[in-house]
Amino acid sequence: MKESRTEHDSMGEMQVPGAALYGASTARAVDKFPISGTPLPPPLIHALARIKRAAAETNAELGLLPQDLATAIAAAAGEIAEGRHVAHFPVDLYQTGSGTSSNMNVNEVIATLCRRSGTSVHPNDHVNLGQSSNDVFPAAIHLATALALRDQLIPAMLGLEIALKAKSIDFSKVLKIGRTHLMDATPVTLGQEFGGWARQAGLAASRGNKAVKALTELPLGGTAVGSGLNTHPRFAELTIARLAAETGLPFRESTDHFEAQSSKDACVEAHGQLATIAVSLHKIACDLRLLSSGPRCGIGEIRLPATQPGSSIMPGKVNPVIPEAVTMVAARVAGNQTTIAWCGAGGFLELNVSMPLLAACLLESVKLLANAATVLREKCIDGISADEERCRSLIELSLSMVTALAPRIGYEAAAAIAKESVATRRTVRELCLERLPELGLSAGELEALLDPARMAGGK
């Protein structure tokens, strides 16, 4: 194989690596954008290929493309959609804001694959027929992200919800002290805490579905500026129907192509749901760290599974490394939210020109959140145990036990007992037992009022 070959595009000749499946336009982009060394995420390339395959089939159906060319294009695009030829999509993430370089990269690879299989196909005239980078690339963003949400993030969140619900049931009888402002409050059950986290995970899955819904309109058919120039009136309808049938997602043509191509509001909305999911995971992870802190000199009410040695200098130390990893994912997603807002603001007149970066951030957030939720479930939640003795002892030490007495003895009297408990380091129960007549309570009444299970909502 020659080290290089000469290819040409509308701007002239370019030297292309001999083994490369792409052509002059791609080589030109590789040369002009040596910025990050990071190409677009593969799922976006796969989505572009799916669109090219559906478009070829539609153009053949409409009589615009000979069947043999359409068959060859669809077969080549199918190989790309399946994840093959990854090394032949080298264009940097930081490229033309419309994604034209990557759209042409896909067109050229498909054309080369067709040519090597014996069919002469032109990347613009045939592979890109009825399309523009300006409608294909944003459609690919929606397609790739919606699939990732459905296939990765939503199942991960549902799995986390199931695991947390199981722990909620396991710990339903484990009484412990609740905390507000990080200070002692009234008793709860450990199961109630896990149940709250399970609800957060369930709502996260629902938010994933909302993100999918925000992305179901595809701007195919708008071509360059939204007017539909150089495309068949039924191209978008038929192509999108093919994509919907293939994926099982309810994709439809954009209501207004000018809105769909000039703005990326749908992507900003979808990532807003992801940012909320990140906040939920951060909350769960931080609570797990707090409740497992110690284990001797902190709260220590739960034990996280040991995953690795926690210190290079302190023998026996084990840290909450899985929750820590989750909090860093949340931080990254928060950063992506800011980036996507900036990218969404990059719509000027008839086109948004920050789409490659926006796409990369969206897909990264989906992947990170899905993986973080799965790791949290498998490596942490499933192995958590409760220190029931610790939970019981901390309840009895809490000043907030006095809260249950306030309706009977009054707020000020209850506060006085709490203050004395602090000063003497004696429990609320001990102090009350010494002054039952003064409080107007019997021993049985005091026992009932200070029953942690009743305070936690038990019968």
pLDDT at 329: 98
Query: Does position 448 have pLDDT exceeding 90, yes or no?
Result: yes
Q: What is the mean pLDDT of residues 338-366?
A: 97
Residue 122 counted as domain residue:
yes
pLDDT band per the 50, 70, 90 thresholds, residue 447: very high
pTM for this one? 0.95
Residues 353 and 433 in one domain: no
Residues 326 and 440 in one domain: no
Residues 84 and 170 in one domain: no
Q: 404-423: string of b/e by CB count within 10 Å (b at 16+)?
A: bbbeebeeebbeebbeebee
pLDDT at 2: 62
Q: How many domains does the chain have?
A: 3
Most distant pair of Cα atoms in the chain: their distance: 101
Residues 125 and 140 in one domain: no
Residues 312 and 433 in one domain: no
Residues identified as active-site: 181, 311
pLDDT band per the 50, 70, 90 thresholds, residue 14: very high
Residue 326 counted as domain residue:
yes
pLDDT at 1: 47
Beta strand pairing status for 12-17 and 4-9?
antiparallel
pLDDT at 138: 98
Residues 177 and 159 in one domain: yes
Residue numbers of the domain that contains 263: 135-215+256-388
Residue 38 counted as domain residue:
yes
Residue finishing a domain among 388, 415, 433? 388
**Residue in 124, 195, 185, 187 with CA at minimum distance from that of residue 162:** 195
Residue 195 counted as domain residue:
yes
Q: What is the mean pLDDT of residues 290-319?
A: 88
Residues 412 and 351 in one domain: no
pLDDT tens for residues 204-244? Answer: 999 999 999 999 999 999 999 999 999 999 999 999 999 99
Q: What is the mean pLDDT of residues 79-89?
A: 97
CATH of the domain at 313: 1.20.200.10
Query: Does position 356 have pLDDT exceeding 80, yes or no?
Result: yes
Contact 123, 340 (CB under 8 A): no
Residue finishing a domain among 105, 129, 153? 129
Query: Does position 315 have pLDDT exceeding 90, yes or no?
Result: no
pLDDT tens for residues 254-281? Answer: 999 999 999 999 999 999 999 999 999 9
Residues 265 and 356 in one domain: yes
Residues 202 and 336 in one domain: yes
Q: What is the mean pLDDT of residues 373-394?
A: 97
Q: What is the mean pLDDT of residues 424-447?
A: 93
pLDDT at 459: 55
Q: What is the mean pLDDT of residues 155-179?
A: 98
Residues 168 and 117 in one domain: no
Q: What is the mean pLDDT of residues 59-88?
A: 98
CATH of the domain at 417: 1.10.40.30
pLDDT tens for residues 108-146? Answer: 999 999 999 999 999 999 999 999 999 999 999 999 999
pLDDT tens for residues 142-162? Answer: 999 999 999 999 999 999 999
CATH of the domain at 34: 1.10.275.10
pLDDT at 318: 85
Angle formed by the axes of helices 355-379 and 154-170, to 10°? 30
Residues 104 and 188 in one domain: no
% of the chain beyond a pLDDT of 90: 93
Instruction: Please enumerate in sequence order all residues whose Cβ is within 8 A of that of 110, keeping only pairs 6 or more positions apart, or say none.
Output: 49, 52, 73, 76, 77, 80, 121, 123, 127
Residues 202 and 330 in one domain: yes
Residue finishing a domain among 364, 388, 412? 388
Q: What is the mean pLDDT of residues 320-341?
A: 97
**Residue in 79, 205, 133, 73 with CA at minimum distance from that of residue 359:** 133
Q: What is the mean pLDDT of residues 397-403?
A: 88
